[in-house]
Chain A
Amino acid sequence: DAKTTQPNSMESNEEEPVHLPCNHSTISGTDYIHWYRQLPSQGPEYVIHGLTSNVNNRMASLAIAEDRKSSTLILHRATLRDAAVYYCILRDLNNAGNMLTFGGGTRLMVKP
C-alpha cells in the first residue's frame, strides 16, 4: 500500500492561511487522496478528497502536485477551532477492501 509522510507538527497564527503538506511518492494512478482531521476529544472528521485536480469545499482546499507525489491541504484562514491532528490518507480505487489507514498525522497548533 502506498504510504504518506507528514510533518509531526506545525504552528500557525490565527486568521492566517495554513498549508499542510503530505508526501506520497509511491502513489498509484488509482489512489484517491483523503484528508481527515481529529479535534481534541472527538472522532476523525472528513475534510476533503481528490484524485488529480485541485478541490475546494467549505472547509478547505486541496492542491495536488502535477505528478501526484505530494499534496497540500490549505486552510484559508485558520481559527482556534482548526487546532487538530490532520491526517493524509490514500485509498485505492481498484481495491474495494482498502480501508482508511491512519498514520501519525500533523498536529496543527493555532496561536491567537
Chain B
Amino acid sequence: DAGVIQSPRHEVTEMGQEVTLRCKPISGHDYLFWYRQTMMRGLELLIYFNNNVPIDDSGMPEDRFSAKMPNASFSTLKIQPSEPRDSAVYFCASSFSVRANEKLFFGSGTQLSVL
C-alpha cells in the first residue's frame, strides 16, 4: 500500500478563496482523521470519521471549515472562505480502529498558505 495520500502538497491562495484539501486513506482502514499543525498550537485533531461517518468534529475551528467522506477511499477538508490565520500544515491520518494499542498512519500533509 502507498500509505495515506494527501493532495496538494502545497497550496497558496488568497484570503476569501475556497480551499479544498484531499486525502486517500490506507485501504481497509475504517477511521480517518484530520489534524492541523501550527507553530503556536502544535498538532490539533479537527475531526474524525468512522466508516465514512463523522464522529467528532469538536476540533473544527468554525463554520468556515467542513469535512466530508463520500466513500471509504476519499475525504476532503474544505475552508470557505479562507483567512490568513488558517495557514498551517494539514495532516490526514487513518487507522483500523481507535483501540488504545492501535497505530495511526499519517500522510505527508498539505502546507496551506493564505495570503
Interface residues of A (CB under 8 A from B): 30-32, 36, 41-46, 49, 51, 91-93, 95-104
The stretch of B14-22, B74-82, B104-112 in contact with A is B104-112
Instruction: Tell me the smallest distance from the CB of A102 to a CB of chain B, in Å.
Output: 4
With a CB–CB cut-off of 8 A, which chain B residues contact A30? 100
Instruction: Tell me the smallest distance from the CB of A3 to a CB of chain B, in Å.
Output: 13
Is the beta-carbon distance between A102 and B108 smaller than 8 angstroms? no
With a CB–CB cut-off of 8 A, which chain A residues contact B115? none
Determine the residue in chain B with the shortest Cβ distance to A92.
Answer: B100
Determine the residue in chain A with the shortest Cβ distance to B44.
Answer: A102
Instruction: Give the total of B residues in contact with A, Cβ under 8 Å.
Output: 21
Contact string, B85-115, partner A, CB cutoff 8 A, digits 1/0? 0000001010000111101111111000000
Cα of A92 to Cα of B101 in the assembled complex, Å: 9
Is the beta-carbon distance between B42 and A45 smaller than 8 angstroms? no
Is the beta-carbon distance between A96 and B91 smaller than 8 angstroms? no
B53 an interface residue at 8 Å Cβ cutoff? no
Determine the residue in chain A with the shortest Cβ distance to B33.
Answer: A99
Main secondary structure, interface of A, reads loop
Q: What are 21 residue pairs bridging A and B, where the CB atoms are less than 8 Å apart in the complex?
A: A32-B100, A41-B108, A43-B91, A43-B93, A43-B107, A43-B108, A43-B109, A44-B104, A46-B103, A46-B105, A49-B103, A51-B101, A92-B100, A93-B101, A96-B98, A96-B99, A97-B55, A97-B98, A98-B98, A100-B33, A102-B43
Cα of A43 to Cα of B4 in the assembled complex, Å: 10
Interface residues of B (CB under 8 A from A): 4, 33, 42-43, 45, 48, 55-56, 91, 93, 98-101, 103-109
With a CB–CB cut-off of 8 A, which chain A residues contact B101? 32, 49, 51, 91, 93
